Amino acid sequence: MAWLLLFFLLGFGVWRFQGGHLMIVAYFILSFFLYVFYAFLARCPRCRMPVLLRPVKLFGMELYRWSLLAPERCSHCGKSLP
């Protein structure tokens, strides 16, 4: 919600400038890189697995996918996350 609010505030504030649309694109790119940075650094304190990495069973194999939101508990060991 905070990301969306900041996006609208930034968008309405800079759109009148000549390069306002470029600042919106830069905001999306910067947001993406910050999310990737957070996704690799946010780890469970007990098992040290990435918090946003979630296991999925597919045809008997255990595959992993990234989620957008952090869960309340670690999907690997089940410990409550702060």
* Residue pLDDT, tens place only, 33-70: 888 888 888 888 888 888 888 888 899 998 888 887 77
Find tokens 């296991």 and name the residue.
55
- Position 78 scores a pLDDT of 79
77 close to 44: Cβ distance less than 8 angstroms = yes
- The confidence score (pLDDT) of residue 11 equals 67
Q: What is the DSSP string of 7-44?
A: HHHHHHHHTTSTTHHHHHHHHHHHHHHHHHHHHHH-B-
pTM of the model: 0.55
Q: Is residue 4 over pLDDT 80?
A: no
| pLDDT, greater one: 10 or 74 | 74
Residues 56, 38, 65: CA angle, nearest 5 degrees: 10
